Structure 1
Amino acid sequence: MRPVYFDNNATTRTDPAVVAAMLPYFSEQFGNASSAHAFGSEVAGAVRQARKSLQALLGAAFDNEIVFTSGGTESNNSAILSALDTQDDRDEIVTTAVEHPAILSLVEYLAASRGIKTHFVGVDAQGRLDIEAYRCALGSRTAIASVMSANNETGTLFPVEQLAVMAHDAGALFHTDAVQAVGKVPFDLKSTGIDMLSLSGHKLHGPKGIGGLYLRKGTPFNPLIRGGPQERRRRGGTENVPGIIGLGKAAELATARMDEEQARVRALRDRLEQGILQIGNCCVLGDVDNRLPNTSNIAFEHLEGEAIIHHLDRAGIAASLGSACASGSMEPSHVLRAMNVPMTALRGAIRFSLSRDNTIDDVVCVLNLLPEIIAKLRALSPSWQERAHITANPSRSAELTL
């Protein structure tokens, strides 16, 4: 049996076509894109084409709105720090309680080091943003509102176009961490008010170590990394040419394949989800009607997700936890806590995230193996056994209530 990889929200396999596009730029077309000679100008032309490919994927109006970075974390940091540095009379941030640590860690640091105030907007039980609370959080001191396009754990999509308009009404800039969304759902940035957008190559079958920051023309910007004149002086340092070429090729493939491939991936995801739900005493977390086509987060009651992941891994299946490891002990996911997921299910959440590489055989493999894994773990779970005993003895439930 071949391994089954259902952890594509963590990283995707680099497409072989992307690898092939990158290879010449290591040892054949190895020039520095900023050099004035033929070696450099040839490479610079390839970088320009990659930028145009990413522009097309994002629906950006101009290719010079694309700044190449090392990945989503750098892009997120660049956007938020720039917004604070370019608006002297504004020193507050509005974000959500379910953002990626690349945002949450930064605002925590800014609070401790610079006294920056951050408003964290909550979500409902399906992970949907409290729009009215967002509106109230915006104010005359808001420098930037930063809201993810899609949640990395549940796949829930956020109405970032609407949120950008609301931020502008308050005089603030708007940024979205679109790392999980780019390549999975369409963007047409030229028709939105989004000022800045972050993306990462390895989430869309490109290489690791390369990403991008969309910077709408006219948006004030203060570089995070200073050095030479690269990226129109918006990001110093010699360009990662192989990475840029790889990201450009990945963007080109995503543009060409998105509609067909995402429809196929959605069908596989739904088939997987339907089969798992038949196991019973589990539920899908997030907004099932408005989420990424590849993501399913399923919580198993009275079980530990870590144990499920361990057994799946031993069977050759890669999925991921709905919890994160903190200080050596398992802490419930901040996303699921913000959604007020019941304690009986909070630690039993498993994320399955698919990609265009997955097949129906992968789905069948999981559906053949997972019921036995869950049954085995339930037989070992004291809380599950107690639940089963109460269900079988209603009088016992009454005693516990008294």
Structure 2
Amino acid sequence: LRPDCPEQERAYADALAVLLMDGPVKAQEAWETICSTWKRDPYAPLFYAMLLRDGFDGQGNPGEGQKEAVRVVEAVLKERPGSQAALFMRALLEEVAPSISPETVEIARRAVAANPFSASAHHLLGHCLFRTGDYEGASAAFKESENLCLAWEKAENVPPALDDAYFRSILYRAVSEFCAGHYKKAEAIASRAASVPLDKKHPLAPGTLLQLWEARTLPARLMLARPGLPRQALVLKAFPGPLPKGFPDLSNGMTAVASQYMGACYAARQGRTDAVASAFDKMSGILRLLMDGADAARKQMSVSYWARCLQTGSLYSSEIRSLMFPDSANVWMSEAIRSQRFSSLLLPPVVPYPAEWVLARAYLKSGKFRECADMCEQALKRFPNHAGVLETLDKARSSGK
């Protein structure tokens, strides 16, 4: 409303207000107007494309909005082929595509080359490489992002609690190393993220929330995801201690979910079916309590992490069911397989493996080698080159000869 504010800046502010008050559909019109009014504005088309995108259907086909968003960004790149913002947006449009093409990876590399000091560009490249199964390349890209974040913290005297980008990259790097089969390295990286002290001055800061919901339990969750369980004493040692007072306690849900899953895994190994059933009942109770926590999650700025916790608990519940009834593992895992999502740009997948791998190992254990191999092939479509899946596939093929 300031009279000295340029008209174009007022238009940007108005478009943002429309987005916040009326939603993305109405905001599309506002940004389209900016694009047509200031035809040489290099950034308005990128906002417009972001609002146009509508993802992919169940068969992996892009929606009409998705196609139009690509056309809009490619038109910008035709005019400005070196624009880091446009390159970044073009790669970002494929973030949750069923598969990431080599062309998209190359665009992400160009975004990094256009601004090698952009932590977010390195993180985007890491995400694209992860999705293609280049886990070591992904880990290297996430490491670059981490280093840039740490340098920024030091230069600006910013505490880790305010640097969520650092935690996003280091957590994703740990999962990348796990998928590459480097289990000890993955756990060491996760432990480093988990060891960052919680900042009492910033209990609801972006970095703090990632510590609470994701980093504190990741070392234990990675251990429990290994093909062969380590000694239970090691996993217990990796679990976080009690949450200090003053921090949002809903995040204890992730610890509770992982704890019940751990109990079920070791009880199944020991043949204690009653203890497995008990863990399932407790997990169901935890999830019911968590589902009632929507209001608390909003107040604690944690809705997305709360939703991820529910997804994790749901998948763990399916796995526990398959431990209870191994002969019908396909029944219990089928819903988990259907509902598992591709990892997003901001965080790694809720578990560091495709749900199909759980069923494949159940088939392998029961001597159903062809079914195991088929399920591994399906798993590799979601997590290409996943070391654990490849190992299981090799065992199925060699045993089935």
Q: Structure 2 length as normaliser, TM-score?
A: 0.27
Structure possessing the higher relative contact order (Cα contacts under 8 Å, 6 or more residues apart)? 1
Q: Structure 1 length as normaliser, TM-score?
A: 0.27
Greater helix share, 1 or 2? 2
Greater strand share, 1 or 2? 1
